[in-house]
Structure formats: C-alpha cells, structure tokens
Homo-oligomer: A and B are copies of this chain.
Amino acid sequence: MTHPFLDLAPLSAERFAAIEDRVARLLDTRQDVVITQGEALLPLEGAIRATATPETIALNVITGPYGQTFGNWLRDCGATVHDLAVPFHTAVTADQIREALNEHPEIDFVSLVHAEAATGNTNPVAEIGEVVRAHGALFYLDAVASVGAEPVLPDAWGVDLCVIGAQKAMGGPAGVSAVSVSERAWTRMTNNPHAPRRSYLSLLDWKERWIDTGRKALLHAPAQLEMLGLEACVARIEAEGLDTLMSRHRAAAASTRAGALALGGGLEPYVHDPREAAPVATTLRTPAGVNASDLVARVLAADPALPLAAGGGPLAKEMIRVNHYGTDATPGTVRACLTGLGTAMAEQGLAVDVVGALGTAERA
C-alpha cells in the first residue's frame, strides 16, 4: 500500500519553500521568512548574535523571564544594554519605550517579548512598533507565545526580526521554528563581521546559500517530520481560519478571567488590566494564605490532565497559570479549570460559587 498518511520521500526544497511561504502568509509579511531547524531559541539566539556587536546600544524590555536571556546574549556580543523592566502584572507601554529612547537616543536595537506565557501579559506591539520605527532602531520581537492567539504583523508594525514557534497557540510542533527578517536586518547582519556564518546559529547562511540562490537546495537534511507537522499545522489553521483560532483564544482568556472573578474566594487576575492580559494563558493571584503550588497540586490530583501550573521561581506561592492554548483553547478546558480550582478552594473552606463562575465564564 502506498503510505496513506505521511509522505516520507525526502522533503524537497520546493516543498520546504512552500511551507515558508505559507508561514509568511500567516504573518501577512513580505519579508523573508526562514524556517529554522531547531526550537525557537535557535532563531532567537541566532538573530541577536547576527545583529548585535560591541557598537550596538540596545533597549532590552523585560516583561518576563526571556528578557533576561536576551540581555545576556546582547552583552555576550559586546553590546551596551539598557534594561527596561516592568512589573510582571502589567505590560510595557509605548510611552515607556518612547521615554527610554529619548533618554538614550543612541539606542539602535530594541528587543521585546510580545506575549509572556509565564506571566500572562501581552504588550502593545503595534503602538510600540510606531515608536521604535520613528526612532530608527532595529526591532526584535519574540512572538512565540502570541502567534495564533493574537495578531502578529511584522510588516504593519515595523518588526525587523520576528521569531515564532508553532508549539503554543498554533498547536504544532516545537522542533522547527521561523523568523521573518527585514531588509534592514539583513543589511545589519551582512555588515557584521562577527555574525555567525557556516554555523548552526547562522541566519546569514540561509540568506546566502538558500534565499539568494533561489531556494533550490537546502543547507542540510531538514527535520522532516517536524516540517511535515508544521505543514499540517498551517493547513489546519488555514482550514479553521486564523481569525477563528484567535477568537477561540480570546474567548478562553475572557472566560477564564471572568469566571475566576465570579468564583470568588479571593482569586484575582494577576494582570490587572484586561487589555494587557495575554490570550494564550491567564495568570491568577491566589488569596492571602493560599499557596498557589499547593492549590495546583490539589487540583491536578483530582484531574491530572488540566493545563494548570503554578508560577515559576518566586511566583510559585502566589501565581496560578491557566494555559488555554492550542487544543486547550476551548470552553470545556476553561470550565474544567474553573471547576477544579473552585472545588479545591471550597475544600479549603473558601467561599466559592462554582456554578456562578461557570455561568459567567460561558457568557463572557
């Protein structure tokens, strides 16, 4: 029998390029899109190492744990880094960016995480993009936790390096990822003698030996199963409609937030302003005296499949994360999470209204 499900003749360059083009359409971008053969950390690191030099003056916005990593890579390349950290319960504002750029007019690189799965906030990239563009700095964006859940529009927003992965809202594989690169960013790289070349980290290799030669021959054997998984993932999103997919995420976030508030018992959204809450995950602050890790453990004991986690590091005691992305961006998952939290809180003697919470969640 000819194989009915998987096409495992070697993945052709033509098909690889077609997958890149479909990802580009998903981002509505005319920039070059390179599908990188590793987890999203690969292009995130590769893009910084290719563009940052000792001459670089960077504004590194820290709204969650990844900002710290980006700062380390920038410093490793010799760049001068101005960190702009905001509390994890809020987003950074375009005004804060403008202020930082005015304070350090020599800044020529801005790094930002779009949505933070770990802390549940999302940043107003459209507005920030205008500010960065007006200033003239190169704009680097980590959109791994936003793509599929909310708009990611490199061209409209003036993003020069936009990195995505399929493993969150897209519900796809994690083993390949993608980066869209503007002409400006390519120029910055080609002018950088220290940019990685002939290296697994190199984006320039893909430009020079793949894009500039007409995408005829791959640099090396690809992660074929992940590529087929990505192709199937994009096909699924095209069939469902990106707008529908994003609506599902928005609805899950709104339901979780409203339901948690209606639940009572002192549970509160961690991100104060709903406009700053990420569609990919909702973070909640536990009431005083309730240890978040213990509560999560209690909920998972009753239903181990729920996409719930306590916050990381110092947030472990006070933050609960509800990861309603991909196949979990459904009313059923939201309901199960609210029910689990509510019953576990009730058992601790907290006054909660599970039925009311579910009704509120459904209407939200």
Which chain A residues have a beta carbon within 8 Å of chain B's beta carbons? 1-6, 8, 10, 37-39, 41-42, 45-46, 69, 72-73, 165, 167, 171-176, 198-201, 220-226, 228-230, 232-233, 236, 302-306, 326-327, 330-332, 335-336, 339-340, 342-343, 346-347, 352, 354-355, 358-359, 362
Copies in the complex: 4
- Which residues of B are found within 8 Å of A326, using beta-carbon distances? 1-2
A50 to B139, CA, bound (A): 31
Q: What residues on B are CB-neighbors of A46 within 8 Å?
A: 200
Given contacts A38-B37, A226-B223, contact A355 B342 (CB under 8 A): yes
Q: How far is the CA of A76 from the CA of B193 in the complex (A)?
A: 12
A223: which B residues are within 8 A, CB to CB? 38-39, 173-176, 223, 225-226
> Which of B171, B174, B346, B358 interacts with A302 by CB under 8 Å?
B358
Of B3, B336, B339, B340, which is within 8 A of A3 by CB? B3
Can you report 8 residue pairs joining A to B where beta carbons are below 8 Å apart?
Answer: A1-B8, A4-B230, A5-B232, A39-B222, A173-B223, A175-B222, A175-B226, A223-B223
Q: Kindly list 15 other residue pairs between chains A and B, CB separation below 8 angstroms, not including A1-B167, A37-B175.
A: A1-B224, A4-B228, A4-B229, A4-B230, A37-B38, A45-B200, A69-B198, A73-B198, A167-B221, A174-B224, A302-B358, A304-B331, A304-B332, A335-B340, A354-B354
CA distance A84 to B198 in the complex (A): 21
Which residue of chain B is the closest to A174 with respect to CB atoms? B221
Question: A201: which B residues are within 8 A, CB to CB?
Answer: 199-201
Contact B220 A39 (CB under 8 A): yes
What is the CA–CA distance of A10 and B8 in the complex, to the nearest angstrom?
17
Q: Give the CA-CA distance A306 to B342 in the complex, in Å.
A: 20
- Among residues of B, the one whose C-beta sits closest to the C-beta of A200 is B42
Shortest distance from the beta carbon of A325 to any chain B beta carbon, whole Å? 11
Most buried by B among A8, A173, A222: A173
A41 CA / B222 CA spacing, docked (Å): 11
Closest to A10 in B: B1
Are A332 and B336 closer than 8 Å at their CB atoms? yes
The distance from the CB of A327 to the nearest CB of chain B, in whole angstroms, is 5
Q: Which residue of B lies closest to A199 (CB)?
A: B45
State the CA gap A331–B303 with chains docked (Å). Answer: 6
Instruction: Determine if B362 and A339 form an interchain contact, defined as CB atoms under 8 angstroms apart.
Output: no
**Quick check: A4 and B221 within 8 Å, CB to CB?**
no
Considering the chains assembled together, what is the distance between the CA atoms of A221 and B358 in angstroms?
A: 32
Q: Tell me the complex Cα distance, A4–B223, Å.
A: 13
Distance in angstroms from A4 CB to nearest chain B CB is: 4
- Given the known A-B contacts A335-B340, A346-B355, are A200 and B38 also in contact in the complex, defined by CB atoms under 8 Å? yes
In the complex, chain B residues whose CB is within 8 Å of the CB of A224:
1, 173-175
Give A8 Cβ to nearest chain B Cβ, in Å.
5
